[in-house]
Amino acid sequence: MCGIVGYAGNKDAKEILIEGLHRLEYRGYDSAGLAFQTKDGIVLCKTAGRVLDLEKKVSEDKIGDGVKSGIAHTRWATHGAPNETNAHPHLDCFNQVAVVHNGIIENHTSLKTYLRGRGHVFRSETDTEIVPHLIEEFLKEKPADFLGALTKTLQTIRGSYALAILNFKEPKNIYAAHLSSPLVIGRGSEENFLASDATPFLGRTKDIIYLPEREIAIINSQGVRVFDFENREKFPEVERLEGTLESIQKGKFAHFMLKEIYEQPEMIENTLRGRLLFEEGTAKLGGLENVWKKILNAKRFIISACGTSWHSGLVGKYMLEELARIPTEVEYASEFRYRNPILGKDDVVFSISQSGETADTLAALREAKARGATALGIVNVVGSTIAREVEAGVYIHAGPEIGVASTKAFTSELTALALITLALAREKQGTLEWGRRVVHELRNLPEKVKSALSQEDKTKEIAKIFKNSKNFLYLGRGANFPTALEGALKLKEVSYIHAEGYPAAEMKHGPIALVDENVPVVFIVPKDKIYEKVLSNIEEVKARRGKIIAIANEDDDEIDKLADFVIKVPRTLGWLSPIVNVIPLQLLAYHIALEKGCDIDKPRNLAKSVTVE
């Protein structure tokens, strides 16, 4: 959520900051702003709306021309309405300190009361404005010790934060710190960068520093210095940045969402690469080798995640329980740590997160570790906070996912869960013949997903017919019940149409009351062991004049007699079928949103990386 960019160097800071904000738009936001260090002081420019609006305003007012350093921000509103006043950066009373902030300051109410009593005047409704005023207050004690005032500020506030700060008296420096909200430094030649994630650095530098929590960086054109809260200098590791500039560009596609839907065969291949062993009929996951005995001997798995990753976890539960025979629970990370969970040394907790920065998932991970469980991760972003804090884990290697509505991360997460399931099942009960059959199916998944993508024209036709529908139902059984949930979520996210996912058999326990000739019902109906059961559920909807859209297998002729619209995809093993079956659901959501004229890559109110509770 939100995006921070900072630059100190020898180039045009305005151009670099605006470009950086554009690259971070996928994170979700509703206002934007920037601050420059000039010879006359700190200059601000802020606006409600898009980065394009900010860019136009900066250009028209000739703000920041020739300036070599500054900070910028995109805000996703938490405290205060999304307007220009509440947009970041925020200043102290004397316009000497400018701050941009991601996160939430939980004790801002009491601190604001204290600061008002000390004569401070606040201009916004935000929690963020506390920070420059606290720094101002603490500077009264030692006016020349900005680092000390910032340290004391960070020790006073509670909550989560990523901060970039300008000090009028140090025009070449940017200060930075973070806690439970990501912040990355990019090191260049006579220029250095700061951002919420590394996408603004692509094409500019390959050297990055993941700033440790509770440490403060001072960044200028000459270098980066890092200090802890005891004013001791630290020397964090410099790492190499993966990814290319092309990976965050749309290329021939109209939207990132469509590009990422079409990248799925390649990304599944990336998740599988080097991990399948055909002769042995198993998978080898190097990231789990050091904890493999703990995983094998676990009494229980717990999968903790949010949103689309939670749906991945639900499919994972079907996989792990059916094939590895290990009891598995799937928890909303946002609820997990607040219900006093029962955990111990025989439990293994998998935290799933595309960004590796999801605040609720990170908090649940820390709770699991504190209670003695083995904490593992399934993440996409290399070097992310979750990736660094888990004992071990699996990278899904899906590449940057820019579209807010997750697509390729879902199928890559399912592929990683399938690999874990295969390896466990082979050691526990699966035969060599079974293992080789699974390896064969996994190898064929990219081609089967390509075949499913070939049904795009069919989804376009259906989208035109149902674009004005007010409600959708998505129904599936077994591992395809979570697929139904994911299909409904995609439609809600990008088209703003109300949609609900249910187990197909649960329909008659309530949701069937919604069915009439105006409600399209999407059935996921692969030819598996409960195929006949789902056909019965289809008959129940048909009897009530519901419009039926079926996702079925290519060799299914019977479905054509029952459904109004059929999208056919290749058949695979039942527990792998969500990876193929979700493709037309993603395309359907995309094309309905396109027909409605929605902002597909930046859905209203949503953020890509949810770094606040």
Q: How far lies 270's CA from each of 312, 384, 395, in Å?
A: 18, 19, 10
Q: Are residues 501 and 379 in the same domain?
A: no
Asked about 306 being catalytic, the answer comes back as: no
Q: Are residues 367 and 407 in the same domain?
A: yes
Q: Is 80 exceeded by the pLDDT of residue 244?
A: no
Selecting among 2, 45, 306, 598, the annotated active-site residue is 2
Question: In this structure, what CATH number is given to the domain that contains residue 443?
Answer: 3.40.50.10490
Residue 112 and residue 123: Cα distance in Å, rounded? 12
Band of the pLDDT at 63, cuts 50, 70, 90?
Answer: confident
pLDDT tens for 119-133 read: 999 999 999 999 999
Q: Are residues 196 and 280 in the same domain?
A: no
Band of the pLDDT at 136, cuts 50, 70, 90?
Answer: very high
The average confidence (pLDDT) of the chain is: 93
Selecting among 152, 448, 492, 608, the annotated active-site residue is 608
Residue 242 and residue 436: Cα distance in Å, rounded? 33
Give pLDDT, residue 613. Answer: 61
Residue 456 and residue 5: Cα distance in Å, rounded? 37
Q: Which of 425, 452, 479 lies at the terminal end of a domain, its last residue?
A: 452
pLDDT tens for 84-110 read: 999 999 999 999 999 999 989 999 999
- pTM for this prediction: 0.82
Q: Is 80 exceeded by the pLDDT of residue 481?
A: yes
Q: Which residue has the tokens 């906070």?
A: 385
Number of structural domains found in the chain:
3
What domain range includes position 610?
A: 454-613
Q: Are residues 52 and 188 in the same domain?
A: yes
Q: Are residues 225 and 274 in the same domain?
A: no
Q: Which of 452, 477, 508 lies at the terminal end of a domain, its last residue?
A: 452
Asked about 608 being catalytic, the answer comes back as: yes
Band of the pLDDT at 114, cuts 50, 70, 90?
Answer: very high
H, E, C per residue of 312-378: HHHHHHHHHHHHHCCCEEEEEHHHHHHHCCCCCCCEEEEEEECCCCCHHHHHHHHHHHHCCCEEEEE
Q: Are residues 240 and 257 in the same domain?
A: no
What phi and psi values does residue 383 have, to the nearest 5 degrees?
80, 5
Answer whether 524's CB lies under 8 Å from 538's CB.
Answer: no
Q: Are residues 199 and 278 in the same domain?
A: no
What phi and psi values does residue 496 have, to the nearest 5 degrees?
65, 20
Q: Which of 452, 476, 503 lies at the terminal end of a domain, its last residue?
A: 452
Question: In this structure, what CATH number is given to the domain that contains residue 114?
Answer: 3.60.20.10
Q: Are residues 80 and 180 in the same domain?
A: yes
Q: Are residues 147 and 21 in the same domain?
A: yes
Q: Are residues 439 and 575 in the same domain?
A: no
Q: Which helix (H) or strand (E) holds 591?
A: helix 577-596
pLDDT tens for 303-361 read: 999 999 999 999 999 999 999 999 999 999 999 988 888 999 999 999 999 989 888 99
Q: Are residues 206 and 157 in the same domain?
A: yes
Q: Are residues 261 and 404 in the same domain?
A: yes
Residue 98 and residue 155: Cα distance in Å, rounded? 19
- Going 329 to 410 to 322 to 524, the CA torsion angle's sign is positive
